[in-house]
Amino acid sequence: MISNYIAVLLPALLIFVVVYALLSKTELLGKNKAFAAAVAIIAAFLGILFKDVLVIINFMAPWFVVIFIFLVLLLVLLMILGVKEETIAEFVSKNKGFQMLIIAIALIIFFAALGYVYGERLLPVTAEKAPSEAKAITAGEAGTFKENVFKVIFNTKVLGALFILIVAIFAIVLLTREKI
């Protein structure tokens, strides 16, 4: 019973904190903190009204907590091995590759949450314009949505395309970097 309240209150609190922080930092609505707080409260209440928003946030939150714990443990390990705080802070703030990695992980979690919420609901809509193989998937002949996503991701054509993309990325990075 209490978990139902927590499943609504924690996303609302998260929406409030994120919106208030963004409005305060960017000063998009001016320097009035009370107005920014009011807009953040309204955004939090609007977030509560939509069940899909709550499900997305409740799906994403544990993954971000796991990543946060992993990063804290990684920092502790690096400090035990003798790396100084200043070196770590400089690496995190100035290394674009690390920043892009964090953004990529966040986007993967976000798109996984969207797939979790909207995946099976959008399958019949997209299958009307798809070939007959997709219509068989929507009819339930080819398994559940999660099984189909797994089959697509680990398809040999998709893995081959990802491999070629990774090779191209490394080639571009190595060819365009400055001399050390």
Q: Which residue has the tokens 């995946």?
A: 119
Per-residue confidence (pLDDT) for residue 148, from 0 to 100 = 73
Same domain for 38 and 62, yes or no, is: no
Same domain for 109 and 170, yes or no, is: no
pLDDT digits (tens, 9 = 90+) for 109-159: 998 888 888 877 766 655 555 555 555 555 555 567 777 777 777 888 888
Confidence of residue 176 (pLDDT cuts 50, 70, 90): confident
- Secondary structure (3-state) at 84: coil
Same domain for 109 and 63, yes or no, is: yes
Contact 35, 41 (CB under 8 A): no
Q: How many domains does the chain have?
A: 3
Q: How far apart are CA 90 and CA 85, in angstroms?
A: 9
Q: How many CB atoms lie within 10 A of CB 139?
A: 10
pLDDT digits (tens, 9 = 90+) for 17-66: 999 999 999 988 888 889 999 999 999 999 989 989 998 999 999 999 99
List the domain range (segments joined by +) for residue 78.
55-130
Same domain for 20 and 75, yes or no, is: no
Backbone angles phi, psi at 137, to 5 degrees: -65, -40
Contact 113, 59 (CB under 8 A): yes
Backbone angles phi, psi at 110, to 5 degrees: -65, -45
Same domain for 44 and 60, yes or no, is: no
Q: How far apart are CA 99 and CA 107, in angstroms?
A: 12
Please report how the helices 51-80 and 85-94 are oriented relative to each other, as an axis angle in degrees rounded to 10: 140
At which of 10, 25, 49 does a domain end? 49
Q: Is the pTM value of this prediction over 0.75? A: no
Q: How many CB atoms lie within 10 A of CB 12?
A: 19
- Secondary structure (3-state) at 128: coil
